[in-house]
Each structure stands twice: as C-alpha cells, then as structure tokens.
Amino acid sequence: MNEQAATLSQTIDAISAGAGTLLPELLLTFFFLLLVILGLFRSPVLRPMLPWLALSGLFAALLVQLYGGYTAGNSTFLNLLRADGLAQYGGVLFCAAGIFTVLLSLQNRALEQLQQGRGEYYALILLLVMGLHLMAKSVNLLMVFLAIEIVSIASYILTLTLKEEKRAVEAGLKYVLYGTLSAGVMLYGMSFFYGLTGNLQYTSESFGLALLQADTLLVTVAAILVFAGFFFKISAAPFHFWAPDVYQGAPMPVVALFSTGPKMAGILVILRFLQAFADPLAFADVQLFLGIAAMVTLLVGNLTALWQQTPRRLLAYSSVSHAGFLLMGLLALGTPYTASVLFYLTVLLFMNFGIFLFLQLSEDEFGVNKLADFAGLGRAYPLLGVLALVFVLSLTGLPPLAGFVGKLLIFSHVWEAYTVSGNTLLLVLLVAGVLLTGVALFYYIKIPFYLFFKRNQTEENLVISLSSILLLVLFALPLLVLFFKPDLLLTWIEQLLAQTL
C-alpha cells in the first residue's frame, strides 16, 4: 500500500513539474470550451463576439510562446511531450495560422452568414491548433497518434462547415475515408516499432539503439507504415488524393489552414522521427524510401497542376509539390538543414494565406470559379493584381521574393549533403527540384496571364474592402522583407534550435 502511495505521489510530482510545458495548450483548451459553451446561446449580442474570443485565445497562446519563460528549456511532460525550441517555434507558426484563419473567416461571406454552428466553427479552429501544438511537442509514438487524430477529427468537421453544399459533403466523406485508412496503417506500423524496441519514446537513445539491433527489413516496413500517417497530414504522395476534393469543397479560410498548419506540424514530427534513422548505412532503405516519396510527390504535384482549370485544384496540387520540396530538404542529413526547413515553412505560411485570401475575394466579389474568370481583373483592380502577382511569383520561387530564398536554402543543403555523402539520389532530387521549379512557373503564371493579358468582359466596378487590402499587404510584406533580410528570421530560428536537444 505504501509503495502504491509512493508511486502515485511520484506521478503527481512529475505531472506538476511538467505542467508548465502545457501552458499554451491549456490556454487554447480554455478558450475552446468557452466558445463551445457560448455557442449554445443564440444571443445576438454574443454572436459577433465569438471570432474575437477565438482571436484572444490564439493571441494569448502566441504571446506566451513568443516571450517564452513558461518552461525551463527542454522540459518534458511524462516523457510524452517536450517543450523545446523546435516546439516553441512551431507553436508560433500554428498560432499565426489560426489567427490568419479567423481573420479570413471574418472576410468570408458564406461564413459570416452562418446561422448555426458559428461558435463550434471557431472552437474547432482552436482545437485544431491545439492538436498541432501537441504534434510538434510529441516525443512518444502513442502521443503522436493521439495528436494527429485530434487534428484529423477537427479537420473533418471543419470541412463540413457548409454542409448544405454537395461539394462539402463529398469532400468531407473522402477526407474521412483517406484519414481513417492512413491512421490505421500508421498505428499498425507503430505497433511494429513497439514490438521491435519495447519503447514508444522515439527520440530516446535506447529506441535508436534497439532499431540498429533489429531486423533491417522489419524496421523499413514499420517506418513505411508510420510514414503513411505523416504523409497524409502533409499531403504527400501517395496520400494526397484527398487534397483536391477538400480544397474544392471546404470554406476558403479552412483550406488556407489545411494548406499550412497540418503540413507544418507533420514536417516537425518527421524532423523528430528521423533522429532515430540518422545512420545512413544502417537505414539506407528508409532514406531511399523517403527520397522516392519526395520525387513522386514533386512529380505528381507539379505535373498534375499543369492540367488544372480551377484555381482551387491548381493550388491543391501546388500544396502537394511544396510537400515534395520539404521532404527533399529533410533528406539533407549531415547538414544544418532544420533552420532552412523552418524558414521555408514560415514563408509558405504567408504565401498560402495571401493567395487564398486573394482567391476568396475573387470568388465572393467577382464569382471566379475557373482560371478564365480572372480575365482582366488585374487591369481593373491594379493593386489587387500586383499583390496576387507577388504571391504567385513567391510560390514559384522567383526573386525578389522570399519563396526564392526558401528554395535556395533547401537546394543548398541538399547539394552540401550530396558532396559529403556522394549519394546519387540527392543529386537526382536536386536536379528534379530545379527543373520542376521551372515547370511550376508554367501553371502559376496562368493566374497573372489572365489577370493582366486577357480582356475583362464586364463593366461592373466593385469596391474591395480596406480590411481585405490591408490583410493582403500584411501577407505580402514579409515575402519582400525576408528576401532582402533573411537573417532577421534565420538568426531567431537558430537561437531557438540551440535550445533543442
């Protein structure tokens, strides 16, 4: 009895000692519950307050992580979560994505007219962001699975926000089916790892040592199964099929969130997971699999985007191609590639939210459903057209925009890794990445081509709200600043990564 009491006391002490690592998540959970409760009331006074409450919760979590000090560096919670510099920077990105999503929602006509489920909509955004935080902090396979499922469940429901539309229902159904399949495959792979190592803490030294002693084929099979779940979150091939339909059917702010938040969290999870497979000789098959997956993702994303005639589906396959570039960056083992990957993710956040806000304005104000519907809008609304051009060129990876710097950093580290290791796969990936960046120009350029070189058939003159223009400028400015001064961000990232074990 005394032993049980002592064990319980030790567990309580461990929970208390690590509770500080959960401060951002606790804040988000509090505001999530508050929004759910307030959403039950149909008061006309409460209804306009709901998005601002969501913003308050996200800003509170953002400020906590920007200023730090809520945990004593590299603190862990029951060996399940680790609050280090990597998780802190990821948390900043996730909170920013949540804030941008709420701001886009306030500009979205369909969501502003939403009568039922308004509180739940904003609450689910906070729940999804909280799940992303847990993904970035997870150092335990079971915790990773639970965090991914929190994000997935919130994503399924958010996809069905406008359930009156048939496209939303179809997209939600496909999303659930693909998500369930990938989750089952991933869990099966995790069971293999537990059987091989007797350990779920995949960042521990004992986990890596156990894998070195295990059968190489079994380790490779288990890794491929686990990567199935990770690839689903970052929309990498062959688990990308949900993306075009979900991007087509979900509300635009939700699509913008899906194109950034889960992708960023998935990449951070893979970053931690790859620590166990850093030995290039013992785990050559795992690295070969990742290289092939990166190549296939790049090819599928870029080549399929060439044939798209609707902006949403074009940007869906664009998102797939960016997943390929990120996977390629993760293969630059032996180089300090983490900072460049985080830089790329940051730039992707601003590029994607900018282009999706532009597309939302185009749909709501001008009825744009196909690329041809952009005809002449750039000449009729020059500021809108120029801002769209900024986002498109940055997504392509052309100077003088931060998208160019992001790809250049990735390519540089892949080349450095190739010169060190002599791995031909890295050279093939590098050449393919450069060539497919040229291919990307052909489908991205369709948008400015229609904006500026096609004649507008309508004489209607619409006024774009000042708040929308200011928000577009907010997304565009970092893309210019970070091209000329990338060290402003890279220095901060490296300082945070110095705190990471």
Mark whether 267 and 396 lie in a shared domain. no
Mark whether 186 and 298 lie in a shared domain. no
Do residues 292 and 220 lie in contact, with contact meaning Cβ atoms separated by under 8 Å?
A: no
Of 277, 312, 333, the domain-final residue: 277
Q: Which residue has the higher pLDDT, 72 or 107?
A: 107
Who contacts 344 (Cβ-Cβ below 8 Å, separation ≥6)? 325, 326, 329, 406, 407, 409, 410
pLDDT in tens, 423-462: 889 999 999 999 999 899 999 999 999 988 877 655 566 6
Quick one: tokens of 471? 């928000």
Average pLDDT value for residue range 122-126: 93
Mark whether 192 and 332 lie in a shared domain. no
What band does 274 get if pLDDT is binned at 50, 70 and 90? Answer: confident
Mark whether 144 and 57 lie in a shared domain. yes
Residue 154 pLDDT:
92
Residue 83 included in any domain: yes
Mark whether 307 and 423 lie in a shared domain. yes
Residue 6 included in any domain: no
Q: Report the number of distinct structural domains present in the chain.
A: 2
Residue 17 included in any domain: no
Q: What is the mean pLDDT of the chain?
A: 87
Quick one: tokens of 265? 């969290």
Average pLDDT value for residue range 466-485: 92
Return the closest-CA partner of residue 377 out of 318, 441, 309, 449. 449
Residue 2 pLDDT:
62
Give the separation between CA 231 and CA 148, rounded to whole angstroms. Answer: 12
pTM recorded for the entire structure: 0.93
Residue 9 included in any domain: no
Residue 10 included in any domain: no
CA end-to-end span of the chain: 38
Mark whether 292 and 390 lie in a shared domain. yes
Residue 133 included in any domain: yes
Helix, strand or coil, per DSSP, at residue 43: coil
Element (H, E) at 146: helix 141-159
pLDDT in tens, 31-81: 999 998 888 887 778 888 888 999 999 999 999 988 876 665 666 777 788
**Structural domain boundaries, residue 426:** 282-501
Helix, strand or coil, per DSSP, at residue 314: helix
Torsion sign over Cα 212, 216, 222, 223: positive
Residue 249 pLDDT:
84
- Check whether 497 has a pLDDT greater than 80: yes
Q: What percent of the chain has pLDDT over 70?
A: 91
Residue 8 included in any domain: no
pLDDT in tens, 237-251: 888 888 888 898 888
What's at 133, amino acid-wise?
H
Quick one: tokens of 336? 């300090």
The mean-pLDDT minimum among 105-114, 215-224, 384-393 falls in: 105-114
Element (H, E) at 373: none
Q: In sequence order, what are the beta bridge partners of 456? A: none
- Check whether 280 has a pLDDT greater than 80: no
Angle between helical axes of 261-273 and 141-159 (0-180°, round to 10): 170
pLDDT in tens, 296-328: 999 999 999 999 989 999 999 999 999 999 999
Mark whether 394 and 431 lie in a shared domain. yes
Of 213, 242, 277, the domain-final residue: 277
Mark whether 50 and 163 lie in a shared domain. yes
Residue 372 pLDDT:
86
Give the separation between CA 301 and CA 295, rounded to whole angstroms. Answer: 10
Residue 110 pLDDT:
80
Average pLDDT value for residue range 291-296: 93
Of 277, 306, 324, the domain-final residue: 277
Helix, strand or coil, per DSSP, at residue 82: strand
Residue 21 included in any domain: no
Average pLDDT value for residue range 79-105: 91
Mark whether 228 and 319 lie in a shared domain. no
Burial 195-214 (b: 16+ CB within 10 A, else e): ebbebbbbbbeebbebbeeb
Mark whether 265 and 310 lie in a shared domain. no
Q: Residue by residue, what is the 3-state secondary structure of 429-445? A: HHHHHHHHHHHHHHHHC
Mark whether 446 and 316 lie in a shared domain. yes
Mark whether 110 and 183 lie in a shared domain. yes
Return the closest-CA partner of residue 397 out of 321, 283, 305. 321
pLDDT in tens, 377-406: 888 888 998 999 999 999 998 889 999 999
Residue 81 pLDDT:
86
